Amino acid sequence: MVAAHNALPCVTGYLTDNFNPTIAAVVLNEAASPIALLGWCCAELQSLAAASAVVAGSGRDITSNDFGAIFEHRLPALVGVLGYAISALNAEQQGGAA
Protein backbone atom coordinates (compact mmCIF):
# COMPACT_ATOMS: atom_id res chain seq x y z
CA MET A 1 0.00 0.00 0.00
CA VAL A 2 2.99 2.30 -0.21
CA ALA A 3 2.44 4.87 -2.93
CA ALA A 4 5.17 5.76 -5.36
CA HIS A 5 5.82 9.44 -5.95
CA ASN A 6 2.97 10.90 -8.03
CA ALA A 7 1.00 7.63 -7.86
CA LEU A 8 -2.41 7.60 -6.26
CA PRO A 9 -2.24 5.85 -2.89
CA CYS A 10 -4.37 2.84 -2.10
CA VAL A 11 -7.24 3.83 0.19
CA THR A 12 -8.77 0.43 0.83
CA GLY A 13 -7.61 -2.00 3.45
CA TYR A 14 -7.17 -5.72 3.29
CA LEU A 15 -10.78 -6.28 4.38
CA THR A 16 -11.96 -5.46 0.85
CA ASP A 17 -9.72 -8.10 -0.74
CA ASN A 18 -12.12 -10.96 -0.07
CA PHE A 19 -14.50 -9.93 -2.87
CA ASN A 20 -12.52 -8.66 -5.86
CA PRO A 21 -8.95 -7.58 -5.18
CA THR A 22 -8.37 -6.50 -8.79
CA ILE A 23 -10.97 -3.70 -8.71
CA ALA A 24 -10.75 -1.13 -5.93
CA ALA A 25 -14.04 -0.36 -4.21
CA VAL A 26 -12.80 3.06 -3.16
CA VAL A 27 -10.40 5.26 -5.10
CA LEU A 28 -8.78 8.59 -4.40
CA ASN A 29 -10.30 11.51 -6.30
CA GLU A 30 -7.49 12.81 -8.50
CA ALA A 31 -9.17 16.22 -8.61
CA ALA A 32 -9.23 16.58 -4.82
CA SER A 33 -7.12 19.42 -3.53
CA PRO A 34 -4.30 18.73 -1.06
CA ILE A 35 -6.31 20.58 1.60
CA ALA A 36 -9.32 18.32 0.96
CA LEU A 37 -7.06 15.27 1.27
CA LEU A 38 -5.63 16.57 4.52
CA GLY A 39 -9.20 17.10 5.74
CA TRP A 40 -9.92 13.43 5.05
CA CYS A 41 -6.74 12.50 6.95
CA CYS A 42 -7.87 14.61 9.90
CA ALA A 43 -11.28 12.90 9.94
CA GLU A 44 -9.62 9.47 9.81
CA LEU A 45 -7.37 10.41 12.72
CA GLN A 46 -10.36 11.64 14.74
CA SER A 47 -12.17 8.37 14.06
CA LEU A 48 -9.12 6.29 15.00
CA ALA A 49 -8.63 8.34 18.17
CA ALA A 50 -12.26 7.75 19.16
CA ALA A 51 -11.92 4.02 18.46
CA SER A 52 -8.73 3.77 20.50
CA ALA A 53 -10.40 5.58 23.41
CA VAL A 54 -13.25 3.07 23.34
CA VAL A 55 -10.86 0.12 23.20
CA ALA A 56 -8.68 1.53 25.99
CA GLY A 57 -11.68 2.27 28.19
CA SER A 58 -13.48 -1.01 27.58
CA GLY A 59 -11.39 -2.93 30.08
CA ARG A 60 -11.32 -6.00 27.86
CA ASP A 61 -8.76 -7.54 25.59
CA ILE A 62 -9.42 -7.30 21.88
CA THR A 63 -8.56 -9.95 19.34
CA SER A 64 -6.07 -9.44 16.56
CA ASN A 65 -9.02 -9.45 14.13
CA ASP A 66 -10.67 -6.64 16.11
CA PHE A 67 -7.43 -4.68 16.09
CA GLY A 68 -7.02 -5.20 12.36
CA ALA A 69 -10.58 -4.11 11.64
CA ILE A 70 -10.23 -0.95 13.74
CA PHE A 71 -6.67 0.12 13.02
CA GLU A 72 -4.41 -2.03 10.86
CA HIS A 73 -6.23 -1.77 7.54
CA ARG A 74 -6.88 1.99 7.91
CA LEU A 75 -3.42 3.25 8.88
CA PRO A 76 -1.64 2.45 5.58
CA ALA A 77 -4.33 4.35 3.65
CA LEU A 78 -3.98 7.29 6.00
CA VAL A 79 -0.21 7.34 5.63
CA GLY A 80 -0.49 7.03 1.84
CA VAL A 81 -2.97 9.90 1.44
CA LEU A 82 -1.04 12.08 3.87
CA GLY A 83 2.18 11.54 1.90
CA TYR A 84 0.38 12.16 -1.39
CA ALA A 85 -1.11 15.44 -0.09
CA ILE A 86 2.23 16.61 1.28
CA SER A 87 3.91 15.81 -2.05
CA ALA A 88 1.21 17.78 -3.88
CA LEU A 89 1.63 20.75 -1.55
CA ASN A 90 5.40 20.58 -1.96
CA ALA A 91 5.05 20.50 -5.75
CA GLU A 92 2.70 23.51 -5.63
CA GLN A 93 5.20 25.36 -3.49
CA GLN A 94 7.97 24.52 -5.93
CA GLY A 95 5.79 25.76 -8.82
CA GLY A 96 5.00 22.42 -10.45
CA ALA A 97 2.30 19.77 -10.41
CA ALA A 98 2.26 16.74 -8.13
- CA atoms lying within 13 Å on the CB side of residue 71: 13
Is 1 within the bounds of a domain? no
Does a structural domain hold residue 83? yes
Domain of residue 85, residue span = 14-94
- As a whole number of Å, the end-to-end CA separation of the chain is 19
Asked if the structure places residue 9 within a domain, the reply is: no
Q: What is the pLDDT along the chain (98 residues), one digit of tens a residue?
A: 343 345 777 776 665 566 666 776 677 888 999 999 999 999 999 999 988 888 888 877 888 888 877 888 888 889 989 999 999 999 888 886 55
* Range 52-61, long-range pairs (CB < 8 A, 24+ positions): none
DSSP state of 24: -
In a domain, 72, yes or no: yes
Contacts 24+ apart (CB under 8 A), 47-50: 48/74, 48/75, 48/78
61 occurs within a structural domain: yes
Domain count, the chain: 1
Please state the pTM of the whole predicted model.
0.72
Q: Please check whether residue 37 lies inside any domain of the structure.
A: yes
The answer to whether residue 45 sits within a structural domain is: yes
Q: Are 30 and 8 in contact (CB under 8 A)?
A: yes
